Amino acid sequence: MQIKLFILFLLLVSIGCNNDKMTHRDIVTQYYNALNSGNHNEIQASINDIVTFISGDYVTSYNRDEFYEFFKWDSVFKPSYRILELEVKNNEVIASVAQENARNEYLRNNPLVYKVKVYFESGKISKVEDLDYMDVNWETWSHKRDTLVSWIRNNHPNLDGFVNDITMEGAIDYLKAIELFSSSQEN
């Protein structure tokens, strides 16, 4: 009788473990939901020890601590993420995402809609590659950014460099710069 109970127990544990295994689609959904809710622990559960982001010629790899710093930078802008479409291809996931935040609002591209290819290693996200941006007016984006950077350099040099400072303090300075510039334009 004990052997039958033991075998039944092993069978139930085995079935339970199989049901807990997340698909790549589930992992991408968990990642964006966690970004949206600001749940860093869930994000950490979705990503590898090193995660790489590729955007055009820019390749940035983060270890867990560095990604946490990026997460804090992103959080300052109060983002919301919405998955528009997910497609599984081979061992990757192609995701279309709409991201809204205060920075995108100022740059006149809110929501920022983009498509990425997500790669996996050992069941976790290892790389996110930008594939396309939909309906982004890069000319407006660049003009708004460059005007803000130039105005801050001339009027509030203590905030100069905010645009390239991907830390929480840099994001706070970015929002201050937007607020100061916008206030100056109202007068």
The residue ranges of every structural domain in the chain are 23-136
23-136 belongs to CATH 3.10.450.50: yes
43-47 CB contacts, 8 Å cutoff, 24+ apart = 43/67, 43/71, 46/124, 46/125, 47/124, 47/125, 47/126
* Amino acid residing at 69: E
CA distance 101 to 77: 5
* Amino acid residing at 19: N
This prediction's pTM: 0.83
Write down the pLDDT at residue 8: 42
What does pLDDT average to over the chain?
90
| CA angle (161 as vertex; 103, 127 as ends), nearest 5 | 60
pLDDT at 15 over 80: no
In contact, 187 and 173? CB cutoff 8 Å: no
pLDDT digits (tens, 9 = 90+) for 112-125: 999 999 999 999 99
In contact, 83 and 93? CB cutoff 8 Å: no
Q: What is the DSSP letter of 38?
A: T
Write down the pLDDT at residue 83: 97
| CA angle (132 as vertex; 105, 70 as ends), nearest 5 | 55
Structure tokens at 5: 């109970």
- With 0-12 / 13-18 / 19 or more C-beta atoms within 10 angstroms meaning exposed / middle / buried, residue 75 is middle
- CA distances in angstroms from 74 to 54, 94, 117, listed in the order given: 17, 22, 20
Structure tokens at 25: 């689609």
pLDDT at 17 over 70: no
Q: How confident is the model at residue 135 (pLDDT cuts 50, 70, 90)?
A: confident
- CA distances in angstroms from 179 to 71, 110, 143, 184, 187, listed in the order given: 22, 17, 17, 9, 13
In contact, 99 and 35? CB cutoff 8 Å: no
CA distance 49 to 34: 17
